[in-house]
Amino acid sequence: MRVGAVDIGSNTAKLLIADVSRKDLELHVEPIHRASAITRLGHGVDRARRLDAATMGRALAILGGYGSATARHECDSVIAVATAAVRMASNGAEFLDRVESALGERPVLLSGEDEAALAFRGARSGLNLDPPILLIDPGGGSTELALGKTGPEYRESLSIGSRRITERRLARVPVVAGALTAARADVADVLDDTVLPERPSTVIGIGGTVTTLAALALGSTTPEHGTLLPIETVTSTIGLLATMRTEEIAQLTGVPAGRADVLLGGAVIVEQTLVHAEATELVVSTGGLIDGLALEAAERV
């Protein structure tokens, strides 16, 4: 069965077209085509509580292309979701109407908890991890946490994301004195309200922030599924990024176009979540919400 999955995030829009088959009573995803594009859809939403017309236009153009791709690949089922930026925006419903016209599929507006559950399902695929497992998904507008053994028994959506903390504390780069300390404190304050029911044996991270941090550590543009990222490496990377201009960060190997301005904020979220979980390292997963969506699309048929 061929499925299409579209994830409309606060900073990135992703597409996965995959063949899904059942083996040993489990569904397995075989990717056929992946695409990812920076939209910056969540830019300014934390302040204005509205989606900007220009960013909506950019996102709609990308999503129209994704709709054409799902038709070209003759998908049996297509599912699309929108996340934090659209949840927060007063004109989110209007945007979803326009997405339906461009994509040919009306996106489901995910709750933060559902977002975390789908991400947990997709991230674990192909990895042998010691439970309990804590998933970190630092998005642009929110950060999703999920904790469990074979599935997410605990889920939390934190009202802090890489773009939101950047716009609040880290907009001036190189970072001015005290701004990095304030950003860390803001993230820690949000995490302090989160009481994990048990200490995780494994922490796994997904999304563009996590894979970019791994790419910087390895000097590679494509980190492998299951790469280990020590907290010391995350902290040292934060120290480096804080001294650089956005244009300089953009030139680093492994930094995708459009992510340079929010990478420092995302790294702070990863670091502080590891501190909160009393973890020394992060397992990098190249799967995630989009892979969980593909499985759900297959189950709908």
pLDDT at 145 over 80: yes
Residues of the chain with CATH 3.30.420.40: 2-110
pLDDT of residue 291: 92
Where do the H-state alpha helices sit in the chain?
45-48, 53-72, 84-88, 92-103, 112-123, 162-169, 179-192, 208-218, 231-241, 246-250, 263-276, 289-300
CA 261 distance to own-chain centroid: 15
pLDDT at 188: 98
pLDDT digits (tens, 9 = 90+) for 35-56: 999 999 999 998 999 999 999 9
User: Residues 115, 296, 76, CA angle at the centre, nearest 5°?
Assistant: 135
Provide the CATH number for the domain formed by 128-284 in this structure: 3.30.420.150
Over residues 20-29, the pLDDT tens digits come to 988 777 788 8
Confidence of residue 185 (pLDDT cuts 50, 70, 90): very high
Q: Are 41 and 59 in contact, with CB atoms under 8 Å apart?
A: yes
Mean pLDDT of the chain: 94
Q: What's the rounded mean pLDDT across residues 143-147?
A: 94
Q: Is the pTM of this model over 0.85?
A: no
Q: How confident is the model at residue 299 (pLDDT cuts 50, 70, 90)?
A: confident
Give the up-direction half-sphere exposure of residue 268: CA atoms within 13 A in the CB hemisphere: 30
For 245-284, how does the pLDDT look when each residue is reduced to its tens digit (9 = 90+)?
999 999 999 999 889 999 999 999 999 999 999 999 999 9
What does the buried/exposed string (b/e) look like for 4-20 if buried means 16 or more CB atoms within 10 Å of the residue's CB?
bbbbbbbbbbbbbbbbb
Reported as a pLDDT band with limits 50, 70 and 90, residue 62 is very high
Asked if 35 and 68 count as a contact pair (C-beta separation under 8 A), the reply is: no
Q: Is the pLDDT of residue 128 over 80?
A: yes
Span 3-26, pLDDT tens digits = 999 999 998 999 999 999 887 777
Q: Looking at domain 2-110, which of 3.20.20.140, 3.30.720.200, 3.30.70.890, 3.30.420.40 is its CATH number?
A: 3.30.420.40
pLDDT at 15: 97
Q: Say which DSSP state 216 is in.
A: H
Chain region(s) in the chain for CATH 3.30.420.150 = 128-284
Give 48's Cβ-side CA count (13 Å radius): 13
Phi then psi dihedrals of residue 34, to 5 deg: -125, 145
β-strands 202-205, 227-230 pairing: unpaired
How many residues are present in the chain? 301
Relative to beta strand 143-148, strand 152-158 is antiparallel
**Percent of the chain residues topping a pLDDT of 70:** 100
pLDDT single digits (tens) 63-110: 999 999 999 999 999 999 999 899 999 999 999 999 999 999 999 999
Location of structure tokens 């790469």: 227
